[in-house]
Amino acid sequence: MHAQAMIATHPDVQGATNESLIRCIEACYDCAQACISCADACIGEPMVAELKTCIRLNLDCADVCTAAGAVASRRTASNERVIEMLLDTCAEACRLCGDECGRHAARHEHCRICAETCQACERACRDAARSVRSSKH
């Protein structure tokens, strides 16, 4: 992704990027794609009926990650309160989806990979939320 290069050239940023926020943006897009794929793969499994909770959490997680990746990409003016709350929500969506995918990881490789992607995104969101909070003081 070009998130680092794009944000570094924003007129108000001029190279002084928040690295944890950029890692979070990349993690959110990665996780959105993985959750869309995992929901789709679950729907294609013969035992789809046992994967209902997983599919639902995947779809919710993808929607929240897509919104978080977009909102965290913006640097014009400021909207820190919304970024913080959205990153906290995204971390929670990733935690719950990662836990549920983890329950199916032994049987479904797509759930195993998606669980890891969710966990990585959860960590990235928590780090970025912390950096946004600390930069306000």
Binding residues vs a second copy (CB under 8 A):
1-3, 5-7, 9-12, 25, 29-30, 32-34, 36-41, 43-46, 48-49, 52-53, 55-57, 59-60, 62-64, 66-67, 69-71, 73-77, 79, 81-82, 85-86, 88-89, 92-93, 96, 108-110, 113-114, 117
Angle between helices 52-73 and 109-135 (to 10 degrees): 30
Judged by beta carbon, residue 105 or residue 131, the one nearer a second copy is 105
- The distance of closest approach from Cβ of residue 134 to a second copy in the complex, given in angstroms and rounded to an integer, is 20
- The distance of closest approach from Cβ of residue 62 to a second copy in the complex, given in angstroms and rounded to an integer, is 8
Answer yes or no: are the C-beta atoms of 24 and 131 closer than 8 Å: no
| b/e sequence 88-108, b meaning 16+ C-beta within 10 Å | eebbebbbbbbebbbebbeeb
Judged by beta carbon, residue 86 or residue 127, the one nearer a second copy is 86
Judged by beta carbon, residue 90 or residue 127, the one nearer a second copy is 90
Both tokens of 58, joined, read 């995947």
Nearest to 110 by CA among 30, 7, 41: 41
- The distance of closest approach from Cβ of residue 54 to a second copy in the complex, given in angstroms and rounded to an integer, is 9
- The distance of closest approach from Cβ of residue 3 to a second copy in the complex, given in angstroms and rounded to an integer, is 6
Answer yes or no: are the C-beta atoms of 115 and 105 closer than 8 Å: yes
